[in-house]
Each structure stands twice: as C-alpha cells, then as structure tokens.
Structure 1
Amino acid sequence: MSLTLVDSVIHQVRERLAARSLVPGERLPSIRALSAHLGVSKSTVVEAYERLAAEGVIAARRGSGFYVCGHLPPLSLAEIGPALDRSIDPLWISRQALEAAEDSLKPGCGWLPQSWLPEDELRRALRQLAREPRASLLEYGRPYGHQGLREQLSRRLAEHGVQAGVQQIVLTDGGTHAIDLVCRFLLEPGDEVLVDDPGYFNFQALLRAHRAVAIGVPYTPNGPDVEALAGILQRHRPRLYITNSAFHNPTGAQLSPLVAHRLLKLAEAHDLLIVEDDIFADFEHEQAPRLAAFDGLARVIQVGSFSKTLSASLRCGYIATRADWCEQLVDLKLATSFGNSPFNAELLHQLLLKGGYRRHLDSLRARLAEAMGETLTRLRRLGLQPWLEPRGGVFVWARLPGGLEAATVSRAALAEGMVLAPGNVFSLGQTAPDFLRFNVAQCQSPKVFEILARSMSA
C-alpha cells in the first residue's frame, strides 16, 4: 500500500530519528524549510508534525518550532535506510541461513558445509590443549593478542607480500569484529564510506550500525571500476573504502595488478583509506595482488580470519596496520570487549603450527575446483549465465534467464526450504535484480537444482 504524503513525511522524520541524525532536544527543520526540501505543501508538514507531537515523539515550543522529545528509541538497523522487501534484506537473508536446519539446502549461504571442515583435527587439538598446563582456560588475553599466533600471522602475511611486524597485528574475535573495530576507530556518524556494488552485504549492515553513509562503486571482473571511482571521489569525500581482493564476494573476481595500482593512486590523491578484507586468501591456487602489499600498510588496513577454512565457531581474526594505529586500536578493543578469546587464539596457533592445516587446504582447494566445475555446468543447463568463470574460491555470480527476478525465485525456493541469495542483497544501488550468488560447496546435492528449476518456473 502506498504512503500518503503526510505518512511519507512522518516516515522520513522517523528514519532520521532511527539513524540518530536527530537527537533529543534538537530542533526539527522549520515547516517552511521541510516543505521546500520535500516538495510538499506546508499544510502536509503541519499535519505530520502534529501527529508526531500527539504520539509524544516531538513537541512544539511556542514561537520556536518543533523539537525532539525524550529519549531516542533503541537503534533499529531495519529502520535506517529504505524499507526493503524481506527477500532482499541482508539481515533477513543472514537469519534464514543461520536458523535453517542443519540438513537444509543453503546454496545462498557464505560458508562451507560442516563435512568439508577438519572437525576431527579440531577435536584432537581441543583435547591436547585442555591437557596443557599453561592453556589459557581461565585468564583474559593479552591486549594485542596471543604473541605466537601474531608471529605466525606475520610470516603468513609475508607470503602474500604484506610486510607486517608483530606490533602491527592486533587479534580480534573474527573478521567482522576486526572491521567493526576499524569503523569505530576511523568513522564518525555521517561519514561517507565506499563499498563495492555488488559487494558483501554485511559491509552495508555494519556501516548502518555506525551511522555512516555507504556509497556504491561499480565492480568489474578485474576489480573496482576505477573510472567510476575517480568520478565518485570528485563528487564525494569518503573516509574509507571497504573491499575484497582475493575471490571477491559475491562475484568471485580477482583484483588485477593494473587496477590495484590505479586504485592506490586515486586513494593517495584523495586521502582515502582502504580496508582490505582478505578472508578468502587461503582458497587461492594462484596469488592475486594485495593492496596491502603494494601500499606497505600506509593507507591500507588488512583484516582476515579463519572462519571460512577452519571453523565458524573458532572466532579469531586479525587487523594488520600501522604500528601507531595498532596502539590506539588495542585501547579501543579493551574499552569495548576487553580483549579477544585467548583460548581460541591458542587453539588456532596449535592448528596452524601443524602440517595438517596446509594438507587440509590442498584438499579443500581441489574439492572446490571440482565443485566449481559441476556447479557452472548445472547452472548453464538451467539457462543461468555466470558473470565470469572464477579461478577458484566458493562463489559463482550468475544471471537468471528471461528477465526472471531473483527475489521472486528466492521466495519460491524458500517455500521449499532452500535458502538462496538474490542479487540485490549485494547491490547498494539495487542494480542486480536478476542475479543470484551460489556457494559451490553448498550445491552438491542434485536437489538444489531441482528446486531451483521449479522456483524459476513458479
């Protein structure tokens, strides 16, 4: 049902309250100013303000205008930004994938099946760690995090050309915690932040939680569209750009050296900081360029974790950046979470020390390559066209045939108990209505394609 003009004005005021751009005691725009800004009559604004006043949301002060009352309602991410169809609401999609039964079909989720992960090795490491007399079972961790694991991460980063000393690495409780800390450190409400379009949907949700303004950068098979990026940087003054380099989510693309070079030149010219999420690094057969390697961690901050390759329950990630920033990030980490799990860090350290992790990765890459080939073949048989043929990783970004809408197909699939990921979940500009993201590791059952075929013809 469409909103009346009065309802529309009320909705916009409530959005500003939810986003904290209007706070208790603050004066609302005058009736004349809001009327001109929204292109509605002054009587429409008067009625909207009076209805909000009747609800106790705002109050009139004679001769002064209208002001926000009392305390703000609790922060609601769903109320910040435009209302979305639940089929393309990123948070709703995440809930569907996380709440689905263990044996549900989830080709739209972003993680590997449990059977693909080294559960037996994890259990052995847990038993061994529990017997260690010095295991961190009872204490808080050190401010920077486990020293041995940070040393190991420093060596692993060097393999990708990223030179980061131990004092340039801060451990976190996973990749999302790492990006959240960086956002807390660098952003103020209202700051503009660039994200890929299409790009990982949780970046958008996280930025909403920080009350930042997300701006989409068109993505190509070789990385961000640098011509479009140059134009955006001329029109805006973004503080950050958050992106992937290896096996971009959702497209599966890899950054080319030329695009990486041009991107860093633009970042330097416009004083742009870059957060490089390298969570898919261990899926690579051949190493893609790393912005953090080219830049030397001057204006690039790299984050990562092991949730995709080892265990989603083993919450341990990292931030690699300038040493002086690490000091301040550690203070912020202590203020907001008092550290990260020392037990998880010790367990991860033990797992990485052994050769079993590398053997697991070799097996995993081979298994993913086979799954990628099978999934591409089956999708093409149904008429879906891959945007590109990924050179590895877990994702295929594919276009539906005949003008089909991904949200409609996803609703039909969900009715049969299968979770898909429609394209506009990943698109800030809502430019991917006929795309779906497929996780090839979650597409091994023929039933996935049977349900997909029925959903496409529903």
Structure 2
Amino acid sequence: MEADKPTRTEALMEVVRMRIANRSLSPGDRLPSIRDFARDMKASPSTVAEAYARLEAEGVLRARRGAGFYVTGVDLPPMALAEMGEPREQSVDPFWVSRLSLDARASDLMPGCGWLPASWMPNGAIRKGLRAMSRGEAALLTDYGSTRGALELRRLLIGRFAEEGLPATASQLMLTGSGTQAIDLICRLLLRPGDTVLLDDPCYFNFQALLRAHQVRMVSVPFTPDGPDVELFGQIVAAEKPRLYITNSALHNPTGASLSPQTAYRVLSAAAAHGMTIVEDDIFADFEPALSPRLAVLDGLSRVIRIGSFSKILSASIRCGYIAARQDWIDGLTDLQIATSFSGPSPVAVSIITGILTGGSYRRHMDDIRQRLTTAREETASRLASLGLVPWVIPRGGFYLWCRLPEGLTSSDVARRCMQERVILAPGNVFSVTQSAGPFLRFNVAHMADNRIYAALEKAMKA
C-alpha cells in the first residue's frame, strides 16, 4: 500500500529541517516571518503558523515574543565531504589549502596550515594589551588610523632594522592592514596587467593567487637549499625582463631553506643589471636562531622592498603589516592605501602589537617558541621518516618541513584521502607555478603532535 502523503504542514516542517541540515539556517538565525514564508511557499499563514508551532514543540525552533521564531542550538549531523563540494582539481589550486584551513571545524586536524596553534601564542600578553587599551583614550577605539600607521610602532621597527644593519627612516616605512595587503599595494603601484613577475618554484601559494588577481604573467625559477638556482635566475631575468621578483629570503615558504651569501649577491647583481625590483617577504625573521643574509640589508632599500607582518609571531586575528622601501615608493603606496582602505591599519591592532613588543615578554615568548619548534621539528621528521617521507632540507628554524613522498605517490591524492579523515594537508603543487611539486607535502610541525595525523597519512599512502 502506498505510504500516506505528508500533509502541507508536515511538508513545511521538512523544508525548515532541510534548511537547518544543509546549513542554510544555523543556530540563532531568525526564520522568515509567518507572512513571508507563507508567500514564498504558497501556503496559508495558518499552515505556516502551525508548522512553526510544532517545530517549537520539538525543540527545533524557539519563539521570541514580538521578534519571531529562531533556530535553537540543535545538534547538527556532521557535514559529509560530498556536501562540502568535491575538491575537483583544487589540489593544484593556490586557494585549496587556504579554503580548507580557514573554514575548518574546531575538530579538524591541520598539519597543512600556515600558523601556530592558539596555545603557542602569547595569549596572556594579548589579554593584557586588550585591558590596557580599553582603559585608554576613546579615540583609540573609534578613530581611523593615520595614513602610514602609528609612529611609535614604526620607530620600534626601525630600531629592529638597525640591529640587522638596515638603516631606515620613518619616511621609508609604513604600516598596512596585513602582509598580504602590503604585497597588494606594491602590485598596484608597480605592476600593470600583462607585466611579468618572477617567483620561486615552489613558493607561497598566495603569491600566485594575488598575482592572478592583478592579471600579470608569472614565470618561475627552481628553488634550491641555498635560494633560487642562480644560473637559471640570471638567464630568466635577462630573457623575461620581470618587473618584480617576490621571495622569502629566510625560512622560505614552503621549503624552510634560507638564502646563502653567494646566492644573495648574485640575485642582487642580476636584479640591478636588468632593472628588476625585489619584494622580500621577511615574515619568518624572528623564528631564525641567528639572522641569515637579507637582500634588503645588502641592498639598503634601493631596489629591494621589505615587507612583513605579525600574524605568525603574535596573532593572526590582530592584523597589521608593514612596508619598508624608498621614500618615493612609500609616498605612492600611502596614497594607494588611502584610496583602497582610507587609513592605515586599525589603531586597536597597532596598540596591542606595540604593547607586546615593548612589554618585556616578547623575547622570552620567541625564545620559547624557537625551542618548542626545534623539538617538534626533530620529532616530526623522525615520525615522517618512519612512513617514508623524507625532508628536502632540515630548516634552521620556523615551522615548515617540505617532504618528499615515496616513489609513485602523488601529494594531491594523499591530501584528498586524508580529507576523508578530516586531516587537512598542503599538497606540493599548490606551491608550484609549473606544477612540478607533485611528490611533495608541506607539514607544519607545530600541528603534528596528534597520532591521528600519522594514522591518516599511512592509510592514505597505502590506498
């Protein structure tokens, strides 16, 4: 016998349940008014009212007098991988790791992400900074930031540059909303659609994503344990005439390698010979036990632009970056920042960062982080080696290990299989302009303590 057909009220109740199940409605969301839902569903208001009332009786909805119906904190079933959208070819998409890591659930394991765990960060100092800021002048909480950012933090950075041997003045330094915004502003100032930009291969995947947005042509140079392959570097610069070269000189992302002095001099010579500007992203500087060569220091901010931020060392949610460059470029970049953001970074963020850097605990924090990373790096390398994953180089610091898979395995396949276990990896080709890093995975050693990661890796590799 045919099953009884659901009533109109039951059908409307199922519509609401489905919207909650597929996350169109989340706990705390307000439902459409009875009148609006009745119009949309071509039902009578009385039928909608009955459906809402029955869902309230089931505990799915909660009525608020005069305010309508709201979704309660119902327990939702885990969203299946298929419901999240099939990755397709996103294993070679520079956005792939970013999407998965930024949208991850709290229970997901993220050995492929690019930041330290929250428990490693200076949370006590951040909370202290928030309390101090809340007692400060009201303007700090409500006003725009200045066009180049607070002078106190800029002077602090200038002092740190001087310790490296990089002389700079306040007119050569500006604060930005983030390190990514710093690169975006530089691209807006110096590039036009169709220009050529040189990248390392592999390189940080968001360099590629951002450059695609600027509609420029990307060429790449193979990266070695000492920096870019200098023979090929000179040939590519001479042949392709790139406007910019964007790189990490120290603790390179994703490989962890650092520039050698010989390579640094030859890179600068090639850039000078062909009129190329270098953007040196120094975001990992404080993770080094001792400073390796820096292009900006050797060049003196003539042809090299230094950028950085505080997201890796202090907090990714308190956003602030910086640009150090020639004064005329800083003048142009400042105008662009006004045009695109109206002001410099949030005074709230700048105040907290300045307080931490001057508060006396920062050096102890970084000493502790470097020690913890050394231990984690050694333990992770050993455990990965037992699975046949070999580090390309053992970095001097930082939190990345760039590892080669055993022969015959492809990192995109391994990453997709690990996603089924809710383990988010960073497959090699998301970092490669030429798609030549298929056998590699980038691991964040600070996120590698959980045994489930190694179990998922082993299962995926065997599959």
What one-letter code is carried by the residue in structure 2 that aligns with 1:154? I
Query: Is the counterpart of residue 94 in structure 1 residue 98 in structure 2?
Result: yes
Query: Is the counterpart of residue 311 in structure 1 residue 315 in structure 2?
Result: yes
Query: Is the counterpart of residue 457 in structure 1 residue 447 in structure 2?
Result: no
Match for residue 190 of structure 1?
A: 194
Query: Is the counterpart of residue 416 in structure 1 residue 403 in structure 2?
Result: no
Match for residue 384 of structure 1?
A: 389
Match of 1:370 among 359, 366, 375: 375
The CA deviation at 1:404 is: 0.4
Match for residue 217 of structure 1?
A: 221
Task: Provide closer, same or farther for how the CA distance between residues 152 and 94 of structure 1 changes in structure 2, counting only shifts above 3 A.
Answer: same
Residues 32-431 of structure 1 aligned to structure 2 (within 5 Å): 85-133=89-137, 136-339=140-343, 340-431=345-436
Contact 1:301 1:319 in 2 (8 A): yes
- Structure 1 residues 381-431: Cα deviation after superposition (integer angstroms, max 9, x where no partner): 101111111111110000000220101100100011000001011010011
Identity %: 54
The CA deviation at 1:182 is: 0.4
CA distance in 2, matches of 1:292, 1:84: 40
Match for residue 6 of structure 1?
A: none
CA distance in 1, matches of 2:332, 2:135: 35
Match for residue 450 of structure 2?
A: 445
Match for residue 5 of structure 2?
A: none
CA distance in 2, matches of 1:134, 1:245: 41
The CA deviation at 1:158 is: 1.7
- Structure 1 residues 144-165: Cα deviation after superposition (integer angstroms, max 9, x where no partner): 1101000001011222222111
CA distance in 1, matches of 2:161, 2:311: 17
What one-letter code is carried by the residue in structure 2 that aligns with 1:287? L
Match for residue 59 of structure 2?
A: none
CA distance in 1, matches of 2:425, 2:164: 33
Contact 1:174 1:317 in 2 (8 A): yes
CA distance in 1, matches of 2:181, 2:361: 27
Contact 2:287 2:397 in 1 (8 A): yes
CA distance in 2, matches of 1:214, 1:451: 35
The CA deviation at 1:135 is: 5.6
Contact 2:92 2:435 in 1 (8 A): no
Instruction: Give the gaps of 5 or more residues in structure 2.
Output: 1-86
Normalising by structure 1, report the TM-score.
0.81
Contact 1:140 1:342 in 2 (8 A): yes
What one-letter code is carried by the residue in structure 2 that aligns with 1:245? S
CA distance in 2, matches of 1:277, 1:160: 16
CA distance in 1, matches of 2:163, 2:381: 31
Whose Rg is larger?
A: 2
- Structure 1 residues 332-384: Cα deviation after superposition (integer angstroms, max 9, x where no partner): 11011011212211111111111111110010000000000001001111011
What one-letter code is carried by the residue in structure 1 that aligns with 2:148? Y
What one-letter code is carried by the residue in structure 2 that aligns with 1:148? E
Instruction: Give the gaps of 5 or more residues in structure 1.
Output: 1-82
3-state SS of paired residue (1:301) = strand
Q: How many residues align?
A: 376
The CA deviation at 1:134 is: 6.1
Which 10-residue stretch deviates more, 116-125 or 144-153? 116-125
Normalising by structure 2, report the TM-score.
0.80
What one-letter code is carried by the residue in structure 1 that aligns with 2:436? T
What one-letter code is carried by the residue in structure 2 that aligns with 1:387? W
